[in-house]
Amino acid sequence: MITSHPSQTEQFDVATIMGGLYGDGIIGLKGAFERNWIQKMGEEIEVLYRDALQRPGGAVGRGPKRHYVEIHPQDISGFVDLAMHPWIIAVCEAVLGADFKIVEIGFDVPNPGAVHQPWHRDFPAPKETVIGRRLNSLAFNLTTVDVSEDMGPFEIAPGTQWDESPEFEHGMFPPASFYPRYEARAQQKMPKMGDISVRSALTIHRGTANTSNKSRPALVLGVDAPDARNAERHDLQITKPFFQTLPEFLRQHLTYRLVDELEPIHQGHTIEGLMMGEA
């Protein structure tokens, strides 16, 4: 049972949130965090990324020169600030309901030389979306750099969270014959440090080619409605001392495993089809 908490949705327009995520499948908030806060997150992610690359299975490939790393909430100093941001809470309450749960924290890193990913969604559409026409999970993204056109911007085909076809390989990868539809709709996103975006991970998207000499890290926060099962793909661990420091509201909105000592995360959500990127 969730303890009562002043609704964050009162500060933001629920119709705009719902219309954006049920329409285009992605919305954003400019300047949600100060640049110095983001710079600190970027420095911490850089250390975590180096460590993950040295650890067997620490970084999962998402295509050539591209990795995803799942981390522990207490690995970054800004986790509570991020999870408790009023806009994030407002979006979660509006789309996922009052009993939403954070199930994932990690980061993507497209490095120089990363190529176009195939168009895809992050997992097969659940029956709640295909049959019930309802979104029951969201992915928040927070860039740690100012994204430019040559850094391999994230590209998304608005409105395609509702696309469904037996031709989708593994329920995630549309055939090449569908690509003209996505390319006609495609929008490249070039956020600045401090911006937050949120999308349905079912909206068809891809990372584009990074022709710059810089990496483009982005923090990822995954959130589920009560009937979603994405927590099964992840292992959100929290030590008991860290748990005691968390706000009560946040404790109730985490799917977690209390541990005495943090254990290496065994990534449970590989996406094999992304290892064959386009040249």
Question: Residue 275 burial by CB count (10 A; 0-12/13-18/19+): exposed, middle or buried?
Answer: middle
CA distance 165 to 200: 18
Higher pLDDT: 274 or 28? It is 28
Mean pLDDT of 10-38: 95
In a domain? residue 160: yes
Q: Confidence band (pLDDT; 50, 70, 90) for 276? A: low
pLDDT digits (tens, 9 = 90+) for 214-247: 999 999 999 999 999 999 889 899 999 999 999 9
Using the structure block, give the residue that is written with the tokens 């094999």: 272
- The answer to whether residue 13 is domain-embedded is no
Percent of the chain as helix, strand, coil, to the nearest 5: 30, 20, 45
Q: Domain tally for the chain?
A: 1
- Indicate the Cα dihedral angle 262, 266, 268, 273, nearest 10°: 140
What angle, rounded to 10 degrees, do the helices at 14-22 and 86-96 form?
70
Residue % of the chain over a pLDDT of 90: 85
The whole-number pLDDT of residue 270 equals 55
Q: How far apart are CA 196 and CA 223, in angstroms?
A: 14
Instruction: Identify which of 268, 195, 188, 184 has the alpha carbon closest to the alpha carbon of residue 234.
Output: 268
Does 4 map to a domain?
A: no
Q: What is the mean pLDDT of the chain?
A: 92
Q: What local confidence, expressed as pLDDT, does residue 275 receive?
A: 53
Residue 192, in any domain of the structure: yes
Q: What is the pLDDT of residue 274?
A: 60
Contacts 24+ apart (CB under 8 A), 173-177: 173/118, 173/119, 173/120, 173/273, 174/119, 174/120, 174/204
17 assigned to some structural domain: no
Mean pLDDT, residues 202-221 taken together: 98
| Banded model confidence at residue 11, pLDDT cuts 50, 70, 90 | confident
Write out the residue range of the structural domain in which residue 233 sits. 22-275
CATH (domain of 145): 2.60.120.620
Element (H, E) at 19: helix 14-22
213 within a domain of the structure (yes/no): yes
Task: Give the pLDDT mean for 120-142.
Answer: 97
Tell me, what's the pLDDT at 273? 53
Decide if 232 is inside a domain: yes
* 12 belongs to a structural domain: no
